[in-house]
Amino acid sequence: MERDQSGMSLPCPGCGTEVKVYRNPFLTVDVIIHFPGRGIVLIERRNPPFGWALPGGFVDYGESLETAALREAKEETGLDVEDLVQFHAYSDPARDPRHHTVTVVFTGIGRGEPKAADDAKNLGVFPLESLPEPLAFDHGRILADYRSARAQPHLQLFTHCSPS
């Protein structure tokens, strides 16, 4: 696929010089919240695209990835997440049917009692071997990668990551 470099121009409000504006992907975070002995937390989306999804959302300007992950987890599930660690980034331009997004996925341990809130219509804790369908976005691929990583004991999926 050829990258669109055309952009568009807008006049600078200060001097009137034409300034090129580029389209860039939106940055998001997703969190695989693990409950030992129970499974992982998924939310059923209230808004399109519908389906079950990892808790997550857009990173606010001036916010670190870690802070965004903790905020989104709390907003959508009511949970505090401990032992947050960055797992993987996903950037397929087709991963979100609304627009091009890049997500950084984190893993962590859920603390508290999960409850659906914010963009979540429903919430469930599911064993990795028994996930609901349909899964939204590319979350099926993300969870398959997570299953594979868990099968490799040399990988540390739960190592503290501070929200800086």
Q: What is the pLDDT of residues 100-126, one digit of tens each?
A: 999 999 999 999 999 988 888 999 999
- 82 bridge partner residues: 109
How far apart, in whole angstroms, are the C-alpha atoms of residue 99 and residue 137?
A: 11
pTM of the predicted structure, to 2 decimals: 0.84
Q: Averaged over 21-33, what is the pLDDT?
A: 94
Domain regions of the chain by residue span: 24-150
Q: What is the pLDDT of residues 152-164, one digit of tens each?
A: 876 655 544 444 4
* Structural fold of domain 24-150: Nucleoside Triphosphate Pyrophosphohydrolase (3.90.79)
How far apart, in whole angstroms, are the C-alpha atoms of residue 5 and residue 38?
A: 47
